[in-house]
Structure 1
Amino acid sequence: MKIQKLSAVVALATIGYSAQAFAQSSVTLYGLIDAGINFTSNVQTARPASGPQGNHQYSFQDGATGGIRGSRWGIRGVEDLGGGLKAVFVLENGFSIGNGALAQGGAEFGRQAFVGLQSSYGTLTLGRQYDSVVDYTQLFQSGAQWAGYMGAHAGDVDNALNTRRINNAVKFASNDYSGLRFGGLYSFGGVPGSVSRNQVWSLGGGYTHGPFGLGMAYLNARNPNLGFYGSNPNNGTTAASNNLGSLGSATTPESNPIYAGYASASTLQIISAAGSYQIGSATLGLTYSNVQFRGLGSTSGPNPLGYTGNARFNNVEVNGRYQLTPAWLAGIAYIYTNASGAENRSGALYHQLQAGSDYFLSKRTDVYFIVVYQHASGTDSLGQPAVAYLTGQTPSASNHQLALRIGITHRF
């Protein structure tokens, strides 16, 4: 009888210990769906000898191409290892709500996929991750707040709206020290005999205190046509397959005329700084980024125009957001982009004005409206008269383009 009682006690203790162990670990399934209807003017349909042809377009679009947020589902987990140390992981998939297709070039977990350790100092992770520009300056842009992907700086040339993720990356993100955060990322190029080829690294930091916020970041990508713009699984080694250097033809419009011609750069460098200040229900923001395609004419990608030297982009954004009620906000922003360089054979100006409104029906569901207008002038990276190009849309057939969207987002 004593043996039976002892066995029962041991069994109960074991069950209790197991329950405690499971309580220290958690796995969460989460997701977001963003869908809406877009109107886009002057959509380029072909480029005959007399110039491109354009038509207005009405379309159903997923959030990743025209909305505020890309549709996704993911799994995140944490396990308490004791002594203040935790194991963490995230697997996040992007998809199109219109046809169910995988986003990010068909990657199963194309948005994020990483595992690591979290301590009292910060978090160290390994995998496919966001760079420091996204981590520390994105939140100050209108595109990240209410304007969506169409509201990115010209063609998202500074990647602030996260068009590209970084593969094979080791990343550190500090904890919050009285409003101060900092971190960095390094991606291995993986080329035998050349440590720096195709590598990507970035550093950044941010500070918030009361109504004031500030963020700064730097990114450097070697052979960007492959290591940075070719980061999705179905991207090949040519710029035409990764939306960087598709020069177009009589029947195929350019994929990104703003910087497609700079596919041969040996190095991509991005410097970004942003800040905001809140006054009552209003928040004013200012962002700046300098993007350089350095060493044009390298073996990174095609160079049909024979560019050498460097090409530069300076982006300035002024934005404002007003909280009309706790559930309803409205915003407006102006973006100026100056492109120059490439032996002064190309140079363009892009002026972009956008406004939007977002109303939350509940904590999980909101409806929104966005309008974006862009005007281009000068000569673009492809050596042609600059055309307007709103991120996620088809380039315009002329120097201006207007896009409107009505959408809905639901979180789960």
Structure 2
Amino acid sequence: MFSARRLLTAMLLPTAAGLSSFSWAQSSVTLYGLIDVGLAYQSRTAGSDANVFKNPGKTYSQFGLASGQAASSRWGLKGVEDLGNGLKANFVYESGVNATTGTSTGFTRQATLGLSSASLGSIDLGRRLTPGTYAFAGIDPFDYNYDQAALSSSMGATNIRLSNMIAITTASFGGFSLLGGYSFDTGLGAINSPTQAGTFGTSNKFRALSLGARFTSGPILIGAMYDMYFTPSGVNAMSVKQWNVGATYDLKVIKLHAAFGQNIDGRVNGVKVLTNVETSGGDGNTNGAVFYEPGARTNQWMVGISAPLGDTGKVFASVQQLRPGGDFTFGERGSQTTSSIGYNYSLSKRTMLYAYYSYMSAPDMYASANSQILGAGIQHKF
């Protein structure tokens, strides 16, 4: 007679075997995230060029809750499986969140599947930050955050995400590593482009190449990156290039930050502080987009500092500038200069308070325009 005990044992054995296999594979999935919310006062003044601004010289302001000031609010899932012999499979699904409304971006912050090896490096497929972004990590005192204070306001390609990308990073050899990636269809907006993306064909897409190099040794960090953004092929095909080099030197009591670079034949990414200032034309608001303009050129630089204040505080500041050159054909131009200072205070390893102020003259290099922001808030990681 087949007893209930034997039946239960027969049902549980496959489950136990599966659990044993799961443990042996050393797989794990982690839920993680960050919530950042606070208050912000913003003031923006339109420039003097009537061809760009519907109300030249008019000032707009707002005060209220803001999400993602010290870091973008997000949540995600990441997993890893040990395949043996130092090889691992990994994935990341990460979604941006507006903490003031609860709305989500979908998994547009990152969606990748890849392989990694401690001795060789890693390869990722999908949507993520560019190799150039990773090469430059740590050089910005504001860590690409705090709204217009971020280094990407002047050096857009130092913090940008691309879709449909294959990205490779070598292991570190003597503190030196190389990074490279190619996007078959970037997913970025295109400003002033004479060609449109096709529905089929590799060369009919907006594509990008991103390269980076990184060196760390003791107190020294050096990063370099070079990106190219291509329009669809054809008679009027063109590309925009951006290169940047930067470094930090840690003196313990203070860390020094500096960077320099160029945009060639247009602009890659940038700040969008002129949103809602009633612009009627031009190449402004390049955040998440590429402006193609043969002959246009910019020089950009940044100097900054960061320093600990006691065991739980940190202060940081920078001055950065984006200077127009070459043939910018639209609007009255001026040098975009941004001066910023910030402070954060850790209540624990996962929770901190912060405050910052940033003033930008000639945003998007439009003469007489300006933008300023004063913000404070709280951030929690989980």
TM range (shorter): 0.7 to 0.9
Give, in angstroms, the shift of residue 337 of structure 1: 1.5
Q: Deviations over 1:2-27 (max 9, x none)?
A: xxxxxx9xx98994774253351000
Secondary structure (helix, strand or coil) at the match of 1:348 reads coil
Once residues 45 and 293 of structure 2 are traced to their aligned partners in structure 1, the CA distance between those partners, rounded to angstroms, is 31
Q: 2:210 aligns with which of 179, 202, 213?
A: 202
1:178 corresponds to = 174
> Counterpart amino acid of 1:408?
I
1:193-232 maps to which residues of 2 (within 5 A)? 193-195=201-203, 197-223=205-231
2:327 aligns with: 342
8 A contact 1:36–1:62 mirrored in 2:
yes
Deviations 1:305-338 (A, max 9, x none): 9x96321121110000111122111112111220
Whether the 8 Å contact between 2:249 and 2:256 is mirrored in structure 1 is: yes
1:21 aligns with 22
Report the equivalent of 1:286: 258
Q: State the secondary structure of the residue aligned to 1:159.
A: helix
Measured at CA, do residues 135 and 308 of structure 1 come closer, stay the same or move farther in structure 2, by a change above 3 Å? closer
Q: Which residue of 1 aligns with 2:134?
A: 135
Q: In the alignment, is the contact (CA less than 8 A) between 2:336 and 2:360 conserved in 1?
A: yes
The one-letter code of the counterpart of 1:122 is G
Partner Cα distance (2:321, 2:137) in 1:
17
Instruction: State the superposition RMSD in angstroms.
Output: 3.3
2:40 and 2:375 in contact (8 A); partners too: yes
The separation in 1 between residues aligned to 2:135 and 2:88, in whole angstroms, is 24
Cα distance, 1:294–1:399 mapped onto 2, change above 3 Å: closer
Find 1:376's aligned residue among 347, 352, 362: 362
What residue is the counterpart of 1:365 in the other structure? Answer: 351
| 1:299-314 superposed matches below 5 A | 309-314=294-299
Q: Quote the residue 1:351 is aligned against.
A: 337
Residue 168 of structure 1 aligns to a residue whose secondary structure is strand
The match for 1:57 among 32, 54, 62 is 62
Unaligned runs of 5+ in 1: 1-7, 227-263, 296-302, 388-397
Give the secondary-structure state (helix, strand or coil) at the position aligned to 1:326.
coil
Read off the aligned partner of 2:322 and give its amino acid letter: T
> 2: CA distance between counterparts of 1:130 and 1:375?
28
Q: Is the 8 A contact 2:76 2:95 kept in 1?
A: yes
- What is the number of equivalent residue pairs in this alignment? 334
* C-alpha distance in structure 2 between counterparts of 1:54 and 1:68, whole Å: 25
More helix by share: 1
Asked if the contact 1:142–1:148 (Cα under 8 Å) also holds between the matched residues in 2, the reply is no
Q: CA deviation at 1:134?
A: 1.1
* SS state at 2:100 partner: coil
- Cα 1:143–1:112 change in 2 (3 A) is same
Quote the residue 2:302 is aligned against.
317
Alignment counterpart, residue 326 of structure 1, candidates 307, 311, 318: 311
Change (3 A) 1:201 1:209: same
CA distance in 1, matches of 2:376, 2:350: 17
User: TM-score, with normalisation over the residues of structure 1?
Assistant: 0.72
Distance 2:135 2:90 in 1: 21
Q: State the distance in 1 between where 2:85 and 2:35 align.
A: 38
Deviation per CA, 1:100-138, whole angstroms, max 9, x where unpaired? 1123xxxx1010000011123111111001112211114
Cross-structure match for 1:114: 112
Cα drift, residue 157 of structure 1: 5.0
TM-score norm. by structure 2 comes to 0.78
In 1, Cα distance between equivalents of 2:378 and 2:67:
10
Aligned-partner SS, 2:203: coil
Preserved contact between residue 286 and residue 319 of structure 1 (Cα < 8 Å)? yes
The one-letter code matched in structure 1 to 2:123 is L
Q: 2:346, 2:54 → 1: CA distance?
A: 49
Tell me which amino acid in the other structure corresponds to 1:22: S
**Map of 1:411 onto structure 2:** 381
Q: Give me the whole-angstrom Cα distance separating, in 1, the residues matched to 2:33 and 2:180.
A: 27
Q: Given that residues 154 and 350 in structure 1 are in contact (C-alpha distance below 8 angstroms), is that contact kept between their aligned partners in structure 2?
A: no
Once residues 409 and 74 of structure 1 are traced to their aligned partners in structure 2, the CA distance between those partners, rounded to angstroms, is 16
Moved more, 347-356 or 191-200: 191-200
Map of 1:45-124 to 2, 5 A cutoff? 51-63=56-68, 67-103=69-105, 108-119=106-117, 120-124=119-123
Contact 2:260 2:300 in 1 (8 A): yes
